[in-house]
Amino acid sequence: MKTSLKIRAAANALNLSTATGLLLAALTGTRVARGPDGLFIGSSYTPRLPLAGAFTVGNVVLCRGGPGALEQHPGLLAHESGHASQYAWCLGLPFLPLYGACAAWSLWRTGDPGSRNFFERNAGLERGGYRELPTVDRGPAVRNFLQRLSFFRQHRTAAADTPPAAPTTEGNHP
Ligand SMILES: [Zn+2]
């Protein structure tokens, strides 16, 4: 195994992301075996979430296919291996919120959580089963929102500046 992969395995052991992946596998009854490049492969993962054929936690790749299925898709395995490296760079579990933020950004820009997601692009879009999608122009929607916000602010300020109406004495005369 390459030195860089040994360092990755050690980093993900120390930052507890691999332990988290193994715990998730144990809790979900997913069978885990040793895979290439210091990875663990969990097969026949059954819970509904996440909505992915395969995903990675630390050095543990969990997939829905049976034993040996992931090894038959070397591109996808390489993609998931890329995510294992990203866990090491993110010092472990901080990967998850960072990934979530990038997925939200991609969803906003393209309507797809992967296409403009830094982590998916870095691991290889195509190998992960994602497509490069055109970005959606959100400018008009943002401008419209800001205009509405400014309208409501002005409206509220104007309402606050108006002095309260003087009490009327009309109708009190005998
Ligand atoms: Zn991916």
DSSP state letters, 36-71: GGG-EEEES---S-SSSSEEEETTEEEESS-TTTGG
pLDDT of residue 162: 67
pLDDT of residue 96: 97
CA of 54 to the centre of ligand 1 (A): 8
CA of 39 to the centre of ligand 1 (A): 15
Q: Which of 129, 135, 104 is nearest to 118 (CA)?
A: 104
Q: How far apart are CA 171 and CA 3, in angstroms?
A: 93
The pTM for the full model equals 0.81
Burial class (CB in 10 A: 0-12, 13-18, 19+), 169: exposed
Tokens in use for 148?
A: 């509405």
pLDDT of residue 171: 53
Q: Which amino acid is at 25?
A: A
CA of 2 to the centre of ligand 1 (A): 22
CA of 110 to the centre of ligand 1 (A): 16
Per-residue pLDDT of the chain (174 residues; tens, 9 = 90+): 999 999 999 999 999 999 999 999 999 999 999 999 999 999 999 999 998 899 999 999 999 999 999 999 999 999 999 999 999 999 999 999 999 999 999 999 999 999 999 999 999 999 999 999 999 888 888 888 888 888 878 877 777 776 666 555 555 555
